[in-house]
Each structure stands twice: as C-alpha cells, then as structure tokens.
Amino acid sequence: MEDSCGLITPQRLPVPLQSVEVQVDVMDHVATVVSTLLYQNKEKKHIETVFVFPMPSEAAICHFSAKVGQTLIVAEVKEKNQVSLGRDYDDVLSSGQRAFLMEKSDQRPDIFSINVGSLPPGESASIRVEYVTELDVQADEALRFCLPAVLNPRYQPAGQISLVTSVPSSLVPYDLSFLARVQSARLISKVESNCTMDPLEYLSQDQTAASVKLAAGHKFDRDVELLIYYKDTHEPSAVVEAGWYPEKQCTLMGDSAVMLSLYPEFPDMSTSIGEFVCLLDRSGSMSGDRLDTLLFLLKSLPLGCYFNIYSFGSSFEQIFPKSVEYKQKTMEEALKKVEKMQADLDGTEILAPLKHIYSQSCIPNQPRQLFVFTDGEVANTKEVINLVKSNSGSQSRCFSFGIGGGASTALINGLAKEGGGYAQFITGSDQMESKVIQSLRFAMQPSVVDISVKWDLPKGVSATVLSPPLTCIFQGQRSLLYAQLTGQNKEAAEGCVTVKYSLAGRPTENKLNFSLKPTEDTGLTVHRLAARSLIRSLEQGQGGRRGQIDDAKKKKIIDLSVQSGVRSSFTAFIAVNKTSGEAIQGPLLRIPLPKISYVQFYNEELDGSCVLCPEECGGPRSREEQGPLLELVSLQTASGCWELEPAFAKAVGKTSKDLENNRPSNVSYKSMWATILALVWLHGLKADAKDEWELLVMKAVTWLQSQNASGLAECVEAANSLLGCSVQKNALGI
C-alpha cells in the first residue's frame, strides 16, 4: 500500500506495525477508548515519523504518548502561542530530541496527524492514544461502537478511488487484542459483533456490568463493530460523575458533571406531505443489493408527496429535471432508472449536486427532506457541511447515511446535525433497509419547535448547561445533554429535568428525575465530553467564524482546554519528555496530512463486486437471489395495494390457481384479496423484517380503509388458511 494511516514517514511510507491492543470502557451511552500500537523501524537508518489516524468526529482525545526506547514523551495541552520556537527542527532532531504536535484538519476533522520525530534503526515506538466518544443508537436500539482499522485512508476529490476497509487476514502481519467493559444502570441484554468474540462475561449479579473480548488470534483485517443492547434503552436516564479533586471547585473538572440521555415521547403524527430527495453515491459503496434499499424507500413514500433521485460520483445525474408528484407512473419511471444504475461514477464529488439541489426552489407546503447516501470519504467535509447548514430549517432537513466501515463520521454526523436530521451508519451485515425506513419515519414527523430544558435542583445546587440548545428532536431519538453541577445539598439527593417543546401547535413536556449521587469509578469520561461540547460551542462563535471570538471567550476556551486536556483551535498537544521532565524545545513541524492515493480492489469480471470482501461490498444480484420479500415489495403499487397477478402469486409461494380457488366467494374485489394476502404473509412469515416493511403496511392499511369494502374478516381467515399463518385481523390494523 503506497499510503496509509498509522505511523508513516513524511514520504507516506508505512512503518511496520507489530501489534495493536485496545481497551474500551463503556459507561451508559459513552465510551473511553485506549489504543496501544507498537511499531518498529526495520530500516538501517533513522526515519522521521508522523502518526496519522482516523477517529469519530464526536470524539475528544484526552491522552497521547510515545515511548521510543527508554524515553517516554507525553503530550500536554498548551496554548499555541506559548510554545517556544527556538532552534530549527533539523537541529532538534540531530541533537537526539523529539518534537511532535497534534494537528486536526479543518476539512477532515476525523483525521488527526501527529509529528512523532526521529525513530532510530531497529528501534520500536509504542504509541498510546486515549479518547472519549458518544455511542450512536441504532434502529433496533443497540448502541454502536466502531473501531476503524488503523490503515484506513480517506477519499480525496478529483477522481481517486476509495479503498475498502477489509483486507485478507493473510496480508495482516499483526494481531489485535481487544477488550470491552460495559457498565450501565440498566441490565445489559447482550453484546454482538461483526467479529468472533468470546462469550459475554457478567461482572455483577444484576447484569449491569460485563466484559467481552475478541477471540484469540484475531487479525485486524476489518473495522471492529460492537453492538450493545440494554434493557429499556429508550428510557431517559442520567449519569452523575464526580469531579477531579486536584481541581478547584466551581470549575468544570472540579465540580460534578451530569450527562442526560433524553428520549422525548410524543404521539405519532406522521405526515403525507413533503419533498423527498435522495442523493445517492455511485462511486462504489452503493453497488449490488444496497441499491435495492431505494426500492423500499420509494415504495414507502406516501401518496401526495413529491420526490426526486440524484446520483453522483465525479459528476452527478438526476432522474427528473425537478421533483415530481409521487404516483404510480412516476414511481415506476424512477424504479426503472434505479434498476439500471451501476456503481460506475468514480469519485465522491458531493458538493456540486448539493449546490444544485439547494438551488431548486422549495415546493410550497412540501418541506424538503434530503436523504444522502455516501461512503463519506471526501476532503472538503467542512465546505459540504456549511452548505447544508446554510440551507437548513423547518422547511428543509438532511438525513445522512454512511455506507461501509470507512465512512467519515465527521461528514455523516455533520450533515445530520447541521441539517436538522438524523445520521445512520451501515456496515457489514447491517440491515440497511430498516435504518433507512427509520429515518424516513423521522422525516415524516413534523418539526418540533420551541424546545426548552428546565432544571429543578435542591437549594444550594445549580446547573450550568454545557451542551448547545436542542434544536431538533424525533420520536424515538436520543439526545445527550451535559451540565456542570455546582454546590452541595446533603438533605436532598434528587434533581429533575423537564424538556418542553411544541409539536403541531400542541405544547408538550417530559420529565426525568435523577439521583445527584455520583456514580463510582467512572473516570472523567463525562467531564471530557462535556468540555468538548462546550469548547465546540464557544469556538463556533457568532456565525461560526473563529475571527469573531473575542479575547474573553478565547481565554475561556484555552483555560477549559488546558484544564480538561481536550484540544481546541487555540491549543495543541505539546511534547514533554517525562524521562527528563523537560519540555521538548524547537519549532513544531507541521507536516501536511498526506494526500492518500488508493488502489482499486475491484474485479471487473464480478461486475463491480469487491475481490477482497465480496460479501460486504456485494455486486448486482437478481431479485430471485434476494428472496420473496423484495419481490413482494416491488409489486406494491404507489397507492399501497397489491394486484392479483402471477408474479404476486410466486412471491407469496403459491400459484395463481391457488389464489383464485381460495378467494372468499363474497369478495369480488381482487386487489383487496391480494392486499390482505400480502399483509398476512408479511405479519405471519416476515415478522423479523418488520422494521423494513412497516411503512409499506401502513400504506396498504390506509388504502384498504379508503375502499370501505366488506368481507375483510373473511379474507383474513382465508389468507391464514392458505398461507399456514394465524394472524389476527386486529393485528393488521384494519
């Protein structure tokens, strides 16, 4: 591989990696991740080294150290303009000293670069990185942690090809040691992974603490994904973390901090209006069965809405000149064009199609809901996110989907956050359809406005909110809020938080009562994430421009960054030689982030499927191979009903004669009979895929109700008899 992340030279050549050891401590909805990577210089000369690595955009680095031989160098957060520039960097290296500076790319905020300095021949470098991060909630309420493979490049615009995030284990010369410890106030139901794991070991009788390891000998040949399931994950909760005693009280690190996990509940008020625009990556990540997800999405759209589909790579295309009304004719036209799509547009140039979409006038009374599907590997992340931010509001939201383990969390999360939508990540064997339909449900919900958070605390205790104000919430979506708790009250041990908002003109509120007693042995995870949240809010300033930050705010950012150990735009990780106790002198060398070039791991004979991971990337498959569920979905009309035709009979595993002979004698309406058969088949035989077909069924039920036809009960009974099911009529919602 010509270029890679990990420890590399300024010429972008990799330093051989010997081993990787990772420990993850999960507390409720957040995690502390400690990675130790061992490298060795196998050259016969000194080499200069730079450590480049990807990490979640929502993460906060809180420790970095490098041990070279007997010398331990630890990074400490310092104000940038306090760093002594001293001698030339070359002089520092020739004297045997090492200088390094951690830098974060403004355009690619999930890529970090650290100058480590000179590595003698035969010498090993042990690098330890610690960061804290929030965990995403999936459609099935699992909390998702993803450890990206260290050699994880990112896409650069202008025609380069993205690299898959899975390679043959025979090509990986090192093993990964991985341990995850989970702690929560809730019962831990199970932990799943895309890699082979040892059995889950509970560490407490009430099953609120557990640990799990990767099986011995695991090769770090792909991203490691962990899915954690709690009982009652959707219930709101609070974690109070004790302050760090060396710090003074009335400071963030000295006081207690609280993390609130809020799940506001409100009635399902799905709407049938909206302009639904899909922006689809055709650079490779959406090949094969991933394109079939569009079938579920298109079939789930409500009558009366408007829609359009764009696809992009190094250029972009659109199905209709402008968004059209959703009906049978336009749906069929769109599906025909989608079926012909190939992952044949090299590159991931997303900015141009976004500009075109936003240049189109919004349709009156049809809020625009933008769905972006991409592998997320772009270098102009900041520019893309700013464009979405400038066009967001109650009449325009953006829902993003990261495809594959290498998707940029900065891009995917940024699009959703600034676009008032929701972010989803689809990797490995994830059921993409269920996640897309979940976001469609969110998009069909009206915007929640006038959101406020009120604290009710004992006398002598006050809360300072550190998170940005809530601007959007959805039914079933989690929101994390951080606050600093100042003062003490020995008599009262409980606090209360009330979230108020307005939905469709109706005021609503949700309350959460929580204990003020700090959770034991939590470290400083909550404090550091709270500090990261506040630093980012302060850095944005008015209009989000650094130049508009006044001196007082800048000083607050610097003080908070130094105190918490979380880097800001005005601070940097500066090297301190812990062996001698002296700070490393010399100018800080800023080696540019490498412009990574890529190798194309695709076999043209497989029509675009990936040679190294064909099961993950997939290739075009026939509907027959994909099973009857997709076949049945493809036959539903835009209105929501099914027609009694040979293809329908085949999809439900029967013949046309079977369907005709078993149709109740008093039911002459063939579409009604076919639609009831489809509903019974889905509920009775495909209940495990409910997240995928639920909106389709809602459309079908709405259509049945609009017919005011008799004989529904007889149809359900006959359908159960024919299909061998036992679905009750009331379970169908009719």
Positive or negative torsion for Cα 689, 690, 694, 700:
positive
Q: Cα-flanking dihedrals φ and ψ of residue 544, to 5°?
A: 75, 20
For the segment 485-502, what is each residue's pLDDT rounded down to a tens digit?
A: 998 765 668 899 998 888
Asked if pLDDT for residue 576 goes beyond 80, the answer is no
The percent of residues above 70 in pLDDT, for the chain, comes to 77
pLDDT interval class at 484 (50, 70, 90): very high
Which residues make beta-bridge pairs with 183? 27, 209
Asked if pLDDT for residue 1 goes beyond 50, the answer is no
Please name which of 714, 594, 722, 576 lies closest in space to residue 662, comparing C-alpha atoms.
Answer: 722
Asked if pLDDT for residue 279 goes beyond 90, the answer is yes
pLDDT interval class at 430 (50, 70, 90): low
Calculated CA dihedral for residues 422, 428, 432, 434, nearest 10 degrees: -90
Nearby residues of 244 by Cβ (< 8 Å), 6 or more positions away: 253, 254, 524, 527
All structural domains of the chain with their residue ranges: 275-443, 623-732
pLDDT interval class at 639 (50, 70, 90): very high
417 vs 409, higher pLDDT: 417
pLDDT interval class at 202 (50, 70, 90): very high
Residue 186 carries which side chain, given as an amino acid letter? R
Asked if pLDDT for residue 701 goes beyond 90, the answer is yes
Asked if pLDDT for residue 680 goes beyond 90, the answer is yes
First to last CA, the chain: 59
pLDDT interval class at 581 (50, 70, 90): low
Q: Which two tokens stand for residue 696?
A: 């389709």
453 vs 592, higher pLDDT: 453
Nearby residues of 528 by Cβ (< 8 Å), 6 or more positions away: 60, 62, 132, 564, 565, 566
Mean of all residue pLDDT scores within the chain:
79
Give me the pLDDT at residue 537, please. 82
715 vs 547, higher pLDDT: 715
606 vs 255, higher pLDDT: 255
Asked if pLDDT for residue 6 goes beyond 90, the answer is no
The pairing of strands 368-374 and 324-325 is: unpaired
Q: Specify the pTM.
A: 0.70
Asked if pLDDT for residue 4 goes beyond 90, the answer is no
CB atoms within 10 A of CB 204: 11
Q: Cα-flanking dihedrals φ and ψ of residue 580, to 5°?
A: -100, -15
For the segment 53-69, what is each residue's pLDDT rounded down to a tens digit?
A: 776 667 888 888 888 87
pLDDT interval class at 152 (50, 70, 90): very low
pLDDT interval class at 232 (50, 70, 90): confident
Give me the pLDDT at residue 289, please. 56
Q: What's the Cα-to-Cα distance from 280 to each of 419, 435, 519, 635, rounded to whole Å?
A: 17, 15, 44, 23
Give me the pLDDT at residue 580, please. 63
pLDDT interval class at 714 (50, 70, 90): very high
For the segment 298-314, what is each residue's pLDDT rounded down to a tens digit?
A: 999 998 899 999 999 88
pLDDT interval class at 219 (50, 70, 90): low
Give me the pLDDT at residue 609, please. 30
Sheet holding 448-456, edge to edge: 448-456, 494-503, 506-515
Winning range, highest mean pLDDT, from 110-119, 304-313, 446-455, 502-511: 304-313
Nearby residues of 700 by Cβ (< 8 Å), 6 or more positions away: 636, 640, 641, 642, 675, 678, 679
- Which CATH fold topology does 275-443 show? Rossmann fold (3.40.50)
Q: Cα-flanking dihedrals φ and ψ of residue 208, to 5°?
A: -100, 0
Give me the pLDDT at residue 88, please. 37
pLDDT interval class at 525 (50, 70, 90): very high
449 vs 624, higher pLDDT: 449
Asked if pLDDT for residue 87 goes beyond 50, the answer is no
Asked if pLDDT for residue 423 goes beyond 60, the answer is yes
Residue tagged 């639920």 (tokens): 694
Give me the pLDDT at residue 587, please. 37
Give me the pLDDT at residue 542, please. 39
